[in-house]
Each structure stands twice: as C-alpha cells, then as structure tokens.
Amino acid sequence: LSANIDSGAKVQSYNCLGCHEERLGYDFETLKSRIVKTPMFFQIPGEISLQELADLTAYLNRFNSP
C-alpha cells in the first residue's frame, strides 16, 4: 500500500470528526471516561479499508511528535 496524506485527511474528516472533535481542553478524568466508553466504528470488518487505514495513519503521523 502507498499511503496518501491528503486522502487520510478526507478519511479523518468523514469517519473520525464526529467523535474526535477539536481538542477542547478536557481534564484527564473527562478525557479518560470518553475514551473508555466509546468504541471506534471502523473495528467492524469492512467499515474502513486497508487503504483508508494506511492513508489515515499517514495523515495522523504527518508531524514528528513524541
């Protein structure tokens, strides 16, 4: 697979932003409770293709960060 950052941005916009909105300054306990309760829907087989996952990964890793 060849990952594409621009395609990854589209995947993120379409599949992720409904739950992963902009960082809103949640405290640790609120953030932890939101993560624990909500599964990501692309874990359903066929919900997201391997190409889309590669593109999304490239988009999310576009910056060098720890």
Domain carrying residue 51: 5-60
**pLDDT over 90 percentage in the chain:** 26
34 within some domain:
yes
Band of the pLDDT at 29, cuts 50, 70, 90?
A: confident
For the chain, the maximum distance between any two Cα atoms, rounded to a whole number of angstroms, is 38
44 within some domain:
yes
65 within some domain:
no
- Whole-angstrom CA distances from 18 to 2, 9, 40, 50 are 26, 14, 11, 21
Cβ–Cβ under 8 Å, residues 11 and 50: no
25 within some domain:
yes
Number of folded domains in the chain?
1
41 within some domain:
yes
42 within some domain:
yes
36 within some domain:
yes
Band of the pLDDT at 22, cuts 50, 70, 90?
A: low
